[in-house]
Amino acid sequence: MTNNQEEIIKEQLEKELNSIKVPNGVKEELWIQVSSTRKKSGISFRLLPYLAAVAFIIILIPLGLSTLPYDSDSNQKDYITKQEEENIKTIEAVIKNNFTSPDEEWEKIMNNTDTEEEGEIKGLREYEKALYREYFASDRAFDEYISIYGSVVWIEPERHHYKLRALDIKCEKTNSAEIIYNFSAKVEYQKEGSTSAAVGMITGQANLNEEHKIEAMNINYFELIDQLSK
């Protein structure tokens, strides 16, 4: 093989090296190793492209693996964030449903004198079930909630002719080993026929399970009721 042919092959290999994006210094080190190996062993220049190709593979495979977009810490944070988003959605849904005034259907149910066998207002449980049940971990958790909140929250506002609207709900996960969130929300209340509205606050805490369902929920809304009862 003539010197001219060797120069052509060398130039081609250098172009291949320069076309591959690897950290600074790796290309130079690779060429030195290939050249020194050839000099020591007397390997024919015809084999040089194959040696270079093997060297590329040996070096680039580890480099490629090290730069893969997999990041366990990042993935874990994304997972935690997604879990928290689902938990917060559950809490927000319950607050929005309960601290926004009911529709005319609820009013018709409450004005109905018919009762169920257990003395409950006919149709009320089904109405509340449609609003809240999907957000609770069990029937027991749901029953506990509506026995304290649910329609109970609406009685005083309706009696004083106020309409409620939940605003600006904020949730924050506690440091507990359980899935517990503290929350607060602004609740706008406006008297029927009035052009102005006022805003009160509610606070509380919710305990959820791994399926983002509420196991227990406590809401402090008594200051709000006091405000609109005056």
Question: Which CATH number is 185's domain given?
Answer: 3.10.450
Q: How far apart, in whole angstroms, are the C-alpha atoms of residue 14 and residue 31? A: 8
Could you tell me if 48 and 126 lie in one domain? Answer: no
Question: Full-prediction pTM beyond 0.75?
Answer: no
10 Å Cβ neighbour count for 220? 12
Could you tell me if 59 and 80 lie in one domain? Answer: no
Residue 61's pLDDT band (cuts 50, 70, 90): very low
Could you tell me if 50 and 163 lie in one domain? Answer: no
Could you tell me if 61 and 81 lie in one domain? Answer: no
Structural domain boundaries, residue 14: 3-66
Q: Per-residue pLDDT for 45 more than 60?
A: no
Could you tell me if 104 and 25 lie in one domain? Answer: no
Could you tell me if 161 and 140 lie in one domain? Answer: yes
Helix 104-111 / helix 124-132 crossing angle, nearest 10 deg: 150
Q: Per-residue pLDDT for 32 more than 70?
A: no
Could you tell me if 62 and 77 lie in one domain? Answer: no
Cβ-in-10-Å burial (0-12, 13-18, 19+) of 43 comes to: middle
Cβ contact 201:169 at 8 Å: no
Could you tell me if 137 and 42 lie in one domain? Answer: no
Q: Per-residue pLDDT for 193 more than 80?
A: yes
Q: pLDDT tens-digit profile of 70-128?
A: 556 667 667 778 999 999 999 999 999 999 999 999 999 998 877 766 678 899 999 99
Domains in the chain: how many in total? 2
